[in-house]
Amino acid sequence: MSELAERFETHDPGEKQVAEKIRCDACPVMCYIADGRTGACDRYGNVGGRIVRMDPLTILDHAAETGGAVVPFVAEGEEWGGELVNTGRRFVTAIGAGTTYPDYKPAPFIVSQEVEGVDLVTVVTEGIFSYCGVKVKIDTDRHIGDETATVRSEGEAIGHVTTGEYGSQMLSLGGVHHLTGGSKSEGRATCDALLNLCNRKPVELTIDGGATVIVEAGKAPVIDGKVEHRMRVGCGSATIGMFATQWRGLVDEVVVVDDHITGVVSEHQAGKVLGWEDTGIKIIGRRSTPGRYFKVSEPGLGWGGTTISDPLSILGDWNAKKGARPGLSLMMVSTTGEQFAYYELDEQLKPVEKPFPERLQKSVGLIEDNCEPALCTVLFIGGAGGSLRAGVTENPVNLTRSVQGLKTYVTVGGAPVYVWPGGGITLMVDVARVPEGAFGYVPTPALVAPIEFTLRRDDYVRLGGYENEIRSVEDILAKGGEYLNSRRGAGAPAGNPWPPLAQLRRGRASGAE
Ligand code: SF4
């Protein structure tokens, strides 16, 4: 018996144990697979003459929520006896379900379950997404590259830097042009990077004219070899607003150095309201409103996401007529509180650095305490408005309307998604909420993602669903499906709501189609 057959010995290969290769139809590559081998994506194999999905079908138990991690309670390869009492809170995910491709047939599993008196149907399939990518949020002030700069993995262009958000740099990676519109190696590198990012593995990205960043969902970014620890408390102006009261009486002037908006407390609206005296300070930058300056420097890896290593470089001459005097005290601090310095003006009104005074330590500590940990966030984005809908209903546009009308609740491996308004089913999901290892690929190249559609049974029948294919959870546990793989039970991660009755009731109340 081959190694693969041993793993699947519960399935009797019988007379179908053949030496010839057999064809896998689960994606357009159509691999011919010899007995005991797997196809190009390793997701399907030939076990005794039958095409088998190599990973187990994952069934989440919401009665056994784990507080985040998914903990299996059936060992890999072991058949689940279905011995647990049905709590009505089991969810058959699409992880390991197999696909509807080439979309002429119903989805691999169409599951019914009565929950709180409501008959629900969940249609479960692994979608093949050529139109997909990830949006990456990197919590850092540091300049990692210009907007629209190319992002590379293994030297290939896989995306670009997009508009920065508050305290975070953003990347837009993947998409159909990089997956299919470039060279073969560009498509392969894009697919590899997306797959690893979605499966929460670290990926090294280089940005043209910018930094090298290691991105791993849920972990701190590593920028040019340095781990980023903190996300800034706010921009320089916001920092002044938050802490001006605490600095009052301890120091004569505070400058919060920031690439976006550098703040000066004596001029800022917050300082004025609190009665801070003028200090005659001069900031070299573009004044926006009092105490708020743009472009004090170029973006970089220094103080507050600027190129600055010496903060005095952004100060002009001090003006005695406007309040500058020998002995005037000045604190300069970055938006994360990681960099700070203290100065006093000498007789020539030049700032001279002095040891950082104890009385100001607390306020710098407060900035640091208010910073959240810097993390990388990866959102998978994909279009499920294509042919996979034909595995759900004979009339695919009905599914789109039902999703848009909130009558169908969409999940990815049990994790809730955001569906974009407008046409199609363009969804986004935080990969940190999806069980690990849920994403796969095919070498077309495209990503494979689990996707589940849940709706009331009567709505499902009305939209042209495959009523005769509906099966109970118990039947699926006992018999599995077309792809003959084992079933794996796992405690659901806490925070992924199930059942989605509240949303389905809202959709019904709205009367939308
Ligand atoms: S790449 Fe994978 S899914 Fe596609 S035909 Fe080959 S084994 Fe089947």
Q: Please state whether beta strands 253-257 and 329-334 pair in parallel, antiparallel, or not at all (unpaired).
A: parallel
Is the CB of residue 30 below 6 angstroms from any atom belonging to ligand 1?
Answer: yes
Cβ neighbours of residue 265 under 8 Å, at least 6 residues apart? 240, 244, 247, 253, 254, 255, 271, 276, 291
Residue with the bigger pLDDT between 64 and 200: it is 200
Q: Give the nearest ligand 1 atom to 27 CA.
A: 4
| Banded pLDDT at 194 (limits 50, 70, 90) | very high
Cα(117) to centroid(ligand 1), Å:
40
What's the mean pLDDT in 331-359? Answer: 96
Number of Cα atoms under 13 Å in the Cβ half of residue 86: 15
Instruction: Determine the Cα–Cα distance for residues 103 and 229; give it in Å rounded to an integer.
Output: 46
Say what the pLDDT of residue 11 is. 36
pLDDT at 353 over 80: yes
| Banded pLDDT at 87 (limits 50, 70, 90) | low
Within 10 angstroms of residue 351's Cβ, the number of other Cβ atoms is 21
- Name the H helices within 370-498: 396-404, 457-462, 473-479
Q: Could you give the 3-state DSSP secondary structure of residue 460?
A: helix
Instruction: Determine the Cα–Cα distance for residues 235 and 264; give it in Å rounded to an integer.
Output: 12
Say what the pLDDT of residue 265 is. 96
Instruction: Determine the Cα–Cα distance for residues 262 and 343; give it in Å rounded to an integer.
Output: 18
Q: Please state whether beta strands 409-412 and 446-456 pair in parallel, antiparallel, or not at all (unpaired).
A: antiparallel
Beta strands in 348-388, from DSSP E residues, in sequence order: 351-354, 376-383
Joined tokens for residue 311: 């903060």
Say what the pLDDT of residue 447 is. 97
Phi, psi of 402 (to 5 degrees): -70, -40
Map tokens 């057999």 to a residue.
22
Q: Could you give the 3-state DSSP secondary structure of residue 37?
A: coil
Among 118, 187, 110, which Cα is nearest to 153's?
A: 187
| Banded pLDDT at 313 (limits 50, 70, 90) | very high
Say if CB 24 and CB 31 are below 8 A apart.
yes
Instruction: For residue 326, give the H/E element and its range.
Output: none
What's the mean pLDDT in 438-464? Answer: 95
pLDDT at 394 over 60: yes
Give residue 95's identity as a one-letter amino acid code.
I
What's the mean pLDDT in 265-276? Answer: 94
| Banded pLDDT at 7 (limits 50, 70, 90) | very low
pLDDT tens digits, one per residue of 89-130: 889 999 999 998 888 889 999 999 988 889 999 999 999 999
Is the CB of residue 29 below 6 angstroms from any atom belonging to ligand 1?
Answer: yes
Say what the pLDDT of residue 74 is. 73
Q: Which of 99-103, 104-108, 182-186, 406-410 has the lowest mean pLDDT?
A: 99-103
Atom 4 of ligand 1, residue of closest alpha carbon: 27
pLDDT at 339 over 60: yes
Cα(45) to centroid(ligand 1), Å:
9
Instruction: Determine the Cα–Cα distance for residues 97 and 53; give it in Å rounded to an integer.
Output: 8
What percentage of the chain has pLDDT greater than the value 70? 93
Cα(28) to centroid(ligand 1), Å:
8
Helices H / strands E in the chain, number of each? 10, 33
Instruction: Determine the Cα–Cα distance for residues 112 and 123; give it in Å rounded to an integer.
Output: 9
Q: Give the nearest ligand 1 atom to 25 CA.
A: 5
